[in-house]
Amino acid sequence: MRPAVLGCLAALCGASAVRADVVADCNQVRDPQLRLRACSEIMADSGYGANEKAIAYRNRGNARANAEALADFNQAVSLRPDEAVGFAGRARTRLAVQDIDGATADYGEVLRLAPGTVHNAFDHAQPSHRSRGYGRPHYLHPEPGRPLTKKD
């Protein structure tokens, strides 16, 4: 009986280690393809909760940094509408695809949820965003109806 119990414990520990590896791979930024695969695995696994899935959607959105990323950030926001981070990521992506009105609305949500933190969305932009110039600050024009401007 003792070997059977030890075998079950080893299997459980192995499964736990695999889960930890998938989470670590989803959170890393060095290998975007590994990040995409790991985050997608978390999203497909019913064993992860809403918080883990929201993080996975945000991380995959950051790894994509293109129009497809909007779908990931939309999911992250729907899973955790109380977190400013999802709105900030979606706003950055909307800027990248020239959806200024959408970006403005999302940054409004960031300010509502976490006042004074909009600048952090740019400070923590992924390297892929920075290399394309998305990591530079954008400022809201004080007059309604005027577009966002880049400060170079």
Please name each of the domains of the chain with its CATH number: 2-150 (1.25.40.10)
Beta bridge partners of 138: 150
pTM value > 0.75: no
CB atoms closer than 10 angstroms to residue 149: 11
Report the Cα 151 to chain-centroid distance in Å: 25
Tokens of 15: 């499964």
Tokens of 19: 């889960």
* 12, 70, 93, 103 from 122: Cα distances, Å: 41, 17, 11, 13
Instruction: Determine the Cα–Cα distance for residues 119 and 110; give it in Å rounded to an integer.
Output: 10
- Per-residue pLDDT of the chain in tens (152 residues, 90 and over written 9): 555 443 443 343 445 666 778 889 998 877 888 988 999 999 999 999 999 999 999 888 888 867 788 999 999 999 999 999 999 999 998 988 889 999 999 999 999 998 866 555 444 444 444 444 444 444 444 444 444 454 43
